[in-house]
Amino acid sequence: MLLGLWLEGLGALNGGINLIYLSFLGLLVGYLLSIPTARLWERNWYKLFARIRAIEPSTIFAAGLATIVALIITVLLNSILERVPGFAWYWSLLITSALVSSSIWFFVSNQEILKGLIGNRLSYEPSTTNDGNILKVIDTSAIIDGRIGEIVNSNFLTGEILIPRFVLSELQHIADSNDPAKRKRGRLGLEVLDKLIEDKKVKTSIVDADFPDIKQVDDKLIKLCQDRSADMITTDFNLNRVASLQGIRVLNVNQLAHSLRAVVVPGEKLSVELVKGGRDAGQALAYLNDGTMIVVDNAEQMIGQTVNVNVSSHLQTNAGRMIFAKLAQ
């Protein structure tokens, strides 16, 4: 009787409307299960390739050469042993496995001998675009700095700029910050990105490359530059030093701005506007267009006026360059 009720219930499920509901239920369950499964496969896939990328080229060369040698020896042994009564295919498979594994172990253990043969072929060569320009990866600090757009418009930057997806996420987090100053800088960075993408002078691409095993954004940037053999655009002093130590060429916007400051020599005459008093009595301060501070002696009474001064000396400090001048007669 129970079996009959169960079969009767199954028959009820075969109704037209019930089949639609069950189909929708199956699609929903499949969708919910596919998301964690896909993410699990994605994490394992990235981990696998991260480990493969970490293998030295000399190790790969040694393992490949060992496999070739082992297979050649296997072919020669099979030609001899196949005439022996009782020799079957599984013996050939066993011999091949033993020869390949032992050869790889021997060659990899002595790969230092092979490094001399391939060392010159493993030198770092930056990846270039089709027009011969080097790829460049930009970080968050250079984006929110805002000057990168002006550099592109001035035609001093060519090639292709890569914007990592994790940099976009960090920029979005800054734009959504509760701190008004950070929020303003983040939104400025998003506007700069919009202009870069619309500008046709330099190709700008968003890359989805990520490294789940690496937590810090700076470390991800360095890894991406190494994988793509690309330069790095930044204004971060510490990131600049770390990337340079790892063989990455860094384009620092602050260094560029510092290099483009006008050269002023003693005796040169300048016309400047005195804006405020200096640290010592009688001094007045003025600034050049690039932000260089000018200290003018005996000019405190002329603050707010535009005067002619003669440069007497200049001093380079950690904060920048200072120019000392006197009022022109």
For residues 160 and 118, membership in a common domain is answered with no
Alpha carbons 167 and 115: distance in angstroms, whole number: 37
Residue type at position 81: L
Domain CATH number, residue 139: 3.40.50.1010
For residues 255 and 139, membership in a common domain is answered with yes
Residues 6+ apart with CB under 8 A from 192: 143, 144, 146, 148, 149
Work out the percent of the chain whose per-residue pLDDT is above 70. Answer: 79
CB 282 within 8 A of CB 297: yes
Give me the domain span that covers residue 195: 135-259
Q: Does 25 map to a domain?
A: no
CB 95 within 8 A of CB 77: yes
Residues 6+ apart with CB under 8 A from 166: 210, 217, 220
Angle at 20 between CA 16 and CA 26, to 5 degrees: 140
Query: Reduced to 3 states, what is the DSSP secondary structure of residue 103?
Result: helix
| pLDDT for res 289 | 72
Rounded mean pLDDT, 183-189? 85
For residues 283 and 211, membership in a common domain is answered with no
CB 290 within 8 A of CB 283: no
Q: Does 50 map to a domain?
A: no
Q: Is the pLDDT reported for residue 131 higher than 50?
A: no
Alpha carbons 78 and 140: distance in angstroms, whole number: 60
**Per-residue pLDDT tens over the stretch 29-85:** 777 777 777 777 766 766 666 566 556 666 777 788 888 888 888 888 887 877 777
Higher pLDDT, 133 or 94: 94
| pLDDT for res 3 | 43
Alpha carbons 272 and 286: distance in angstroms, whole number: 6
Banded pLDDT at 123 (limits 50, 70, 90):
very low
pLDDT, averaged across the chain: 77
